[in-house]
Structure 1
Amino acid sequence: MSGPTVTPPPGETSGGTSAAKTRVGFVGLGSQGGPMARRIVEAGHPTTLWARRPGSLEPFADTAAKTAGTPAEMAADCDVACVCVVDDADVEQVVTGENGILEGLAAGGVVVVHSTVHPDTCRRLADAAAARGVSVVDAPVSGGGQAAAEGRLLVMAGGDDAAVERCRPVFATYADPIVHLGPLGSGQLTKLLNNVLFTANLATAAGALALGRSLDVDPDRLAEVISHGSGTSFALGRVAAAGGTLGPMGERAGALLQKDARLLATVADAAGVPAGPVMRAADDALDLMEHRR
């Protein structure tokens, strides 16, 4: 097995010539991961893909991307292995399970966890990876598939400075800004806080529109006014677009928002820190979406 490519500062080698592109592996080609992987391929990084479902690979048939039979086979052909699957169990299976990434990734490689998971999951992975000379960076993202396709995702990174900087040219293919929050796990904590605040804002936005309706203020006009005022929020736009209710949001994203609220509550409980009003408001939204925490 060949060793990892040593990536110099972006765009330059010690001789001043164009830098070699980092070899990238990618797992998790869903609505967000798929556009991220395509951006990596189109930026010229040698890319190897693995997917449980062959259909997920079909959109890449017209690209330079290679495919692998297992995550381990994929990892043996890359320096940075990106994981963008749904939950903690999926991440651990792909990274540390049989034929997982750690079985193939050479010493010096980096595993990037783009999934939103418990910070402790990333720390467990880092312990297992360290025994093989591999680093882990947690780098959850925000923005959705369209933002990924346009190269404007938000990446919230946690991990060793050198490991994060090594991944930065890869992140830059699909993200702007890229924010390094601190040590491993800090990216996940930041993403969970963001998602719980968004969930809380859904409750307050829906509550304001409902209260206005009860007081004979047209909810569409009210939403139009608030969107130009100090009370506006991204959540208000989502609630207004759904007719002032959280039903459609619950169908699309209720389970994921519930998962993230549960994760943050677990972290806060373990730290002995009261979650406070943001969690109470988030719980109100989850109740309205019929996804009680």
Structure 2
Amino acid sequence: MRGRRDMRVGFIGLGSQGAPMARRIAEAGYGTTLWARRTATLEPFADTGAKTAGSPAELAAASDVVCLCVVDDADVEQLTTGGDSVLAGMRRGGVLVVHSTVHPETCRRLEERARVQRVSVLDAPVSGGGRAAEQGTLLVMAGGDPQVFAFCRPLFATYGDPVVHLGPLGSGQVAKLLNNVLFTAHLGLAANALELGSRLGLDTEGLGRLLPRGSAASFALERVVDAGGTLQRVGAHAGGLLAKDVRLFTSLVEALGVDGEDQPDPVREAALLTLRAMGR
């Protein structure tokens, strides 16, 4: 199967990251249908030619591929179960793409329900934020059937670069959770380094200009510097989502028995310390 521009795409989840993703899909020439709980969320798309649906089921009935970019597992479950849901409207041969960051088991349960209707499921969480979505440079981490992924890849490429297939369904979620746990740990290390520099008598503002340009540079360090050198503003903006993802990763590791007393997990421990410093 090859991706085609006559593919009809439905998109739900028009937040700070999802909205520019949906815009890039529409502007790339794909027939696009949108649904949102709040009609105000749809107003910025008036100039794109994207259509709007009255319900998730109506959106799905008008789409070959439906992309979900909502907050958490509960949102995905709500949108895909019930008489007015996405699955209720999808036709045989359709593809449901979970761009949300959720537990891999949520995707597997969804696949079991979708299989009854001959609908395929891909998990393809994204990373990079709204600016990367606007620029088409989101990291897309995908799991699922390789042929279905190949079919959707041209669509993913409208907002993602690189777009990487990592294995069976759920693989994208595992990669995204690893990414976010490591990012959370990096945030804590960056804040600690800046605090230590201040205690040693260094000018914090100057240090914040210097470190991001050297071998210590990281995306997390830049976020902490932009937030004034501490975790408070970062925690207020992203702490809730990071805490969700660290909890999901912890449950995944514990279920698989990967972590143990003889194999300490310094990355996860550092992430938990960061969340504690954020008050999470």
C-alpha distance after superposition, 1:208-267 (max 9, x if no partner): 111111111222222333223322211111111222100000110000000000000000
Contact 1:96 1:125 in 2 (8 A): no
Cα deviation for residue 196 of structure 1 reads: 0.6
Counterpart residue number, 1:3: none
Counterpart residue number, 1:284: 273
Counterpart residue number, 2:111: 126
Structure 2 counterpart SS, 1:111? strand
Counterpart residue number, 1:270: 255
Q: Which has the higher helix share?
A: 2
Aligned length: 276
> Aligned partners of 2:27 and 2:213: how far apart in 1?
38
Q: Which runs of 4+ in 1 moved over 6 A?
A: none
TM-score (norm. length: structure 1): 0.91
Contact 2:139 2:160 in 1 (8 A): yes
TM-score (norm. length: structure 2): 0.95
C-alpha distance after superposition, 1:71-90 (max 9, x if no partner): 11110111000001111010
Structure 2 counterpart SS, 1:248? helix
- Counterpart of 1:153 (choices 122, 130, 138) is 138
Instruction: Please say which of residues 237-246 and 130-139 is displaced more in the overlay.
Output: 237-246
C-alpha distance after superposition, 1:175-204 (max 9, x if no partner): 111011111000000001001100000111
> Aligned partners of 1:40 and 1:223: how far apart in 2?
37
Write out aligned runs for 1:17-36 (5 A): 20-36=5-21
Contact 2:5 2:29 in 1 (8 A): no
- Counterpart of 1:92 (choices 70, 77, 95) is 77
Partner AA of 2:76 in structure 1? V
Instruction: Please say which of residues 41-50 and 91-100 is displaced more in the overlay.
Output: 91-100
Cα deviation for residue 20 of structure 1 reads: 4.7
> Aligned partners of 2:175 and 2:107: how far apart in 1?
14
Partner AA of 2:209 in structure 1? E
Write out aligned runs for 1:62-81 (5 A): 62-81=47-66
Partner AA of 2:58 in structure 1? E
> Aligned partners of 2:228 and 2:15: how far apart in 1?
28
Counterpart residue number, 1:15: none
C-alpha distance after superposition, 1:248-287 (max 9, x if no partner): 0011000000000000000000011116001111111111
Partner AA of 2:277 in structure 1? L
Structure 1 counterpart SS, 2:213? coil
> Aligned partners of 1:20 and 1:32: how far apart in 2?
22
> Aligned partners of 2:250 and 2:5: how far apart in 1?
43
* Unaligned ranges ≥5, structure 1: 1-7, 11-18
Aligned-pair Cα RMSD in Å: 1.2
Counterpart residue number, 1:204: 189
Counterpart residue number, 1:181: 166
Structure 2 counterpart SS, 1:107? coil
Counterpart residue number, 1:136: 121
* Unaligned ranges ≥5, structure 2: none
